[in-house]
Structure 1
């Protein structure tokens, strides 16, 4: 049985998928790592790329789905590793030592959740800076679920959870990744901050493309976990923080 399941969700991702696959292959993953691709029945050249790299892919499926988080649920259900890590099309492992560093941590410092900072990149692969420095989201080194009261502290691609405690994603909610992280943290007995960067995160995902709905859905998530009154107050604080951060730069 593999230790780590890396899951890539795709839909019409021919422009970016190869970048993700090559970053994985640069790490020379062995039997301890499985790689799954969950495709939403792409109509472009995505499946051609998948077939070109098929010998490096543990399992892939291509079929219609109900969106990103439905596909992520499918990937999680098909995974067999002890840990799940979502690395979607266009995202990359940070460098060629990432997997060996992570597996060493898992062997020597077993935990339920591992997390780190993420390097933001644009669609050309150009670095934009670390998430903790170019956004208002400072990264605590002792993370708990209560740290999520004002939004997502950890980029989803920099958050790895033990599969046995990872819940299903809230399919209809564009901020389901926040909910998933909170639920993982609530269930976790031990959470470990990694002092190396796990990923390069391609900016401009679904929550950016549908920003207004994402904000409304984020409120639903935070109200579910922290209560409606607290969520209202914290959203006012989030707005004030964003304004301060913008004018401080």
Structure 2
């Protein structure tokens, strides 16, 4: 059983998939498996998978019911002790990222590991660390209650034991927020990593469907924090966003 299952979800991702795979190939580590779940792409995505097939432990290409349905398929295929989603266009931060993560897992065996994420544009240029370029400051002693004002940790900078990882709700564009909260609730030990785990490609599904994403986020937060608390916290979110934009 590998220590980490790294899972990439793709659909018509020929423009970005290779950078993700190359960031994995460059790692100085072998104690992992790499899984690609493709939603029956119609472009050259599968050609890229074929070019790197020696580095791919398992892959599947078939129609799905959306991003989070595909993520659930990835969870079902994973055999590693930990799961880590790195979607098409996202990258492991540098060549030592996975060795550093594996070293911490060997040392502490925490239930959840998390870090900051470096935002990058389509052309590879950097935007900045998520904790600096968004209102989401990153606590070094994270609990699920820290998610009351939204997603504190980028999904690609969040690694969880497979044993505590639930399935994603498939009808909610903020399902990754719900997944992180549920993982944190189940976790007994949560560890902040003092190194950046990933480069995150800005402009994902939730950005493309921003209004519905905000509505779905509200539903997730009501589920975990209650209606009145979530209404109050959304006023705080608006105030925080206004302060951040002025700054």
Tell whether the structures are fold-level matches, with TM greater than 0.5.
Answer: yes
Structure 1 stretches (4+) deviating beyond 6 angstroms? none
Question: Alignment partner of 1:36: what SS?
Answer: strand
Aligned to 1:3: 3
User: 2:161 — aligned with what?
Assistant: 162
Q: Deviations over 1:135-177 (max 9, x none)?
A: 0000000000000000000000000000000000011000000
- 1:193 maps to 192
Partner of 2:143 in structure 1?
A: 144
- Flag structure 2 segments of 5+ consecutive residues without an equivalent: none
Aligned mates of 2:28, 2:118 — CA distance in 1: 21
* Partner-residue secondary structure (3-state), 1:141: coil
Determine helix, strand or coil for the equivalent of 1:2: coil
Partner of residue 218, structure 1: 217
3-state SS of the aligned residue for 1:192?
Answer: strand
Q: CA separation in 1, counterparts of 2:172 and 2:45?
A: 26
Alignment correspondent of 1:80? 79
TM superposition score normalised by structure 1: 0.98
Where 1:170 maps in the other structure, the secondary structure is: coil
Where in structure 2 are the equivalents of 1:76-155 lying within 5 Å? 76-155=75-154
1:239 Cα deviation (Å)?
A: 1.0
- RMSD after superposition: 0.5
Report the 3-state secondary structure (helix = DSSP H, G, I; strand = E; otherwise coil) of the residue aligned with 2:164: coil
> Deviation per CA, 1:97-150, whole angstroms, max 9, x where unpaired?
001000000001110000000000000110100000000000000000000000
Q: State the distance in 1 between where 2:163 and 2:116 align.
A: 24
How far apart in 2 are the matches of 1:29 and 1:39? 25
User: When the two structures are superposed, what TM-score results if normalisation uses the length of structure 2?
Assistant: 0.99
Give the length in aligned residue pairs: 247
Q: Report the alpha carbon displacement of residue 29 of structure 1 after superposing the two structures with TM.
A: 3.5
C-alpha displacement of 1:28: 3.7
Structure 1: any 5+ residue segments left out of the alignment? none
Question: What SS does the aligned partner of 2:75 have?
Answer: helix
